[in-house]
């Protein structure tokens, strides 16, 4: 295999390309860096609005994590699309980074579920709580930091 190929998770990425969950775009380190900066801004904004609206603050944390993980794919020249695109972002980055187990990336999965319940309320499911925010706020800085490291090291797909 060529030395500038990221092998981990390659089969999962190729499968997502075949089934249309993932599409190729121009690989862009600049856009990935801009997305990481936007993720940092969303994280900062979340901390500022927590006392006003914990639900909005939680959604901002989720957005920050999703943007950071999406930056990894954009840097590779990949973009998710269609139904389940947000879930696919998380799954594809995890596939390309485990092992070892990536707890912070995996936390984005439950954050996505809570974000959906908050954005699309249902009386049978709770919206984001302060406890949810407190749990998420511990993971998101790690997601952003590790995504930034991946952007620096992962070649285009």
Task: Give the tens place of pLDDT for each residue, 35-52.
Answer: 999 999 999 999 999 999
Q: Please name the helix (run of DSSP H) or strand (run of DSSP E) that holds residue 151, with its range, or none.
A: helix 130-153
Residues 46 and 38 sit within 8 Å (Cβ to Cβ):
no
Q: Which residues contact 35 (CB under 8 A, 6 or more apart)?
A: 67, 68, 70, 71, 74
pTM of the model: 0.94
Distance CA 131, CA 137 (A): 10
What are the pLDDT tens digits along the chain (157 aa)? 445 788 999 999 999 999 999 999 999 999 999 999 999 999 999 999 999 999 999 999 999 999 999 999 999 999 999 999 999 999 999 999 999 999 999 999 999 999 999 999 899 999 999 999 999 999 999 999 999 999 999 999 9
Give the tokens for residue 38: 């936007």
Taking only the tens place, the pLDDT of each residue in 125-139 is 999 999 999 999 999
């Amino acid at each position: 295999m060529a030395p500038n190929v990221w092998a981990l998770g390659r089969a999962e990425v190729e499968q997502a390309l075949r089934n249309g969950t993932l599409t190729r775009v121009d690989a862009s380190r600049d856009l990935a860096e801009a997305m990481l900066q936007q993720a940092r801004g969303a994280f900062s904004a979340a901390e500022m609005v927590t006392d006003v609206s914990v639900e909005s603050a939680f959604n901002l944390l989720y957005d920050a994590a999703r943007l950071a993980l999406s930056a990894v794919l954009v840097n590779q020249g990949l973009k998710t699309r269609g139904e389940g695109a947000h879930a696919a972002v998380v799954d594809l980055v995890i596939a390309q980074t485990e092992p070892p187990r990536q707890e912070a990336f995996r936390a984005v999965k439950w954050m996505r579920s809570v974000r959906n319940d908050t954005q699309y309320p249902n009386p049978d499911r709770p919206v984001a709580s302060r406890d949810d925010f407190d749990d998420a706020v511990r993971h998101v800085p790690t997601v952003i930091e590790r995504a930034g490291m991946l952007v620096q090291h992962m070649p285009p797909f």
